[in-house]
A and B are shown apart, each in its own frame.
Chain A
Amino acid sequence: MKPPLPPPSPYYRNYATLREIETRLKSIKNIEKITKTMKIVASTRMGKAQRAIAASRVYTEGDYEFFGVSETKAPEEQEKTLIIAITSDKGLCGSIHSSIAKTARRKLAEIPNADVVTIGDKIKVQLLRTNAQNVVLSFNGIGKEAPSFYESSLIADEIAKLGKYDRVEVLYNKFMSSVAFEPTYVDAFTAESIDASTKLSTFEVDEESGSTSGLAQYSLANTILAAMSEGYASEIAARRNAMDNASNNAGDMINKYSILYNRTRQAVITNELVDIITGASSLG
């Protein structure tokens, strides 16, 4: 009596069947369609995002010119620092969010007791993994559309409720060009640092109406808005590039798999012919 055959090993490999290659090819084609569409969507948003940056740069320039003339500086000794890190909720845009997370981590290694406010889910998830004790407040649902002053003033309002900080820094991706971005820190000056500016006496400041604290609040909202617009444009540009690369790679894979598909089909036909001919000749 013959011993029974061993069961087929699960690791047993065979040449891919025609059907398998076909499904694979179809799914890559679908992925290519999706990435292409996402690229087109990002491209159309790009123009709008760039216009938003141009407007917000003029808008914040006024603040910066004032801080420049009055020589406002952030305090040197890092007593109580707040870092506002800005990303968005959506991925599929290359290294844009992780570069912000990396920069924030480097800063937190320098100032381990700094507080962090995160804007956008991506940075929140990344920072909660390593620096959960530093994150004090987080926002999400931002960055679907070009940011507005309404959003940034609501955020600034919530941040003001956290209490006093000696230094507030906003971390965002500065839009350098449509292919380059740079994680950048910008200071949002507190009322105390504005009051302590060396050349503030150049200006006549109406102290009764509490101008400097009002100015500090307003400029925090402005700084956040400017940072959000820059971050938004960088993200859109990065997504367009990422999706462009993805579409190209999908195209390459489609080429490879169509060749493999045709070759396999040819092999199947040849095998069938061989079978038929051998069968016929053995009969004859």
Chain B
Amino acid sequence: MFRQSLRSLARVNKFAGVRTYAEAANSDVLKLSLALPHTAIYNNKAITQVNVPGASGEMGILANHVPIVEQLKPGVVEVIEEAGSTKYFISGGFVNVLPNSKVNISTVEAFKLEDFSAEKVKTLLAEAQKNAASADEAVSAEANIQIEVLESLQAAGVH
């Protein structure tokens, strides 16, 4: 069975640029699963590119990306499909890219960027900055996390 599939792969390579369905199902197409604990936004869907806010910096993932595992910080996940791109703001989580061009993003919460209200972000940010100066360690730690999330929301251009 394997020999047969190897042969067909070799045949495909002869006609470089000719895409077959079998090939597309393998590794030249990026597959995305973007899942929250309570719902799955994308489930194994073919896309062109996805940009994720990695802990070590923003990165774009295309098909045949090196397999990685990385923690995500709060930020924007941009999913680029043929029809256009959609931006989601996620609360942090993990991304793993598998050798067969499958991307799994798991995060606790994600919403579309246009669903956020800029004024609400501003008032919450002001409140958090006030709390950050608090003497209570737990309160100020919580406020610092809030500030991190809200500032990245502002940087993402919520309007």
Interface string of B91-105 (1 = CB under 8 A from A): 001101111001011
- In the bound complex, what is the Cα–Cα distance between A58 and B37 (angstroms)? 9
Q: Does B69 contact A (CB under 8 A)?
A: yes
Contact A62 B105 (CB under 8 A): yes
Q: Does B66 contact A (CB under 8 A)?
A: yes
Q: Does B156 contact A (CB under 8 A)?
A: no
Total number of residue pairs linking A and B with CB closer than 8 Å: 87
Which of B33, B56, B68 sits near A61, CB closer than 8 Å?
B33
The prevalent SS among residues of B at the interface is: strand
Q: Does A165 contact B (CB under 8 A)?
A: no
Q: Does B40 contact A (CB under 8 A)?
A: yes
- In the bound complex, what is the Cα–Cα distance between A236 and B108 (angstroms)? 25
Which of B67, B71, B96 sits near A62, CB closer than 8 Å?
B96
**Closest chain B residue to A54, Cβ basis:** B40
Q: Does A92 contact B (CB under 8 A)?
A: no
Interface residues of A in 205-239 (CB under 8 A from B): 205-206, 208-209, 211, 214-215, 218, 222, 225
Q: Which residues of A contact B71 (CB under 8 A)?
A: 206, 209, 211, 214-215
Q: What band does the interface of chain B fall in when counting residues whose beta carbon is under 8 Å from A?
A: 20 to 34
Contact A55 B38 (CB under 8 A): yes
Contact B37 A59 (CB under 8 A): yes
Q: Does B49 contact A (CB under 8 A)?
A: no
- In the bound complex, what is the Cα–Cα distance between A222 and B35 (angstroms)? 12
- In the bound complex, what is the Cα–Cα distance between A59 and B33 (angstroms)? 8
Which of B37, B66, B93, B99 sits near A69, CB closer than 8 Å?
B99
Q: Does A63 contact B (CB under 8 A)?
A: yes
Among A58, A65, A202, A214, max chain B CB count under 10 A is at A58
Interface residue ranges, A against B (CB under 8 Å): 52, 55-56, 58-59, 61-63, 65-66, 69, 148-149, 152-153, 202-206, 208-209, 211, 214-215, 218, 222, 225
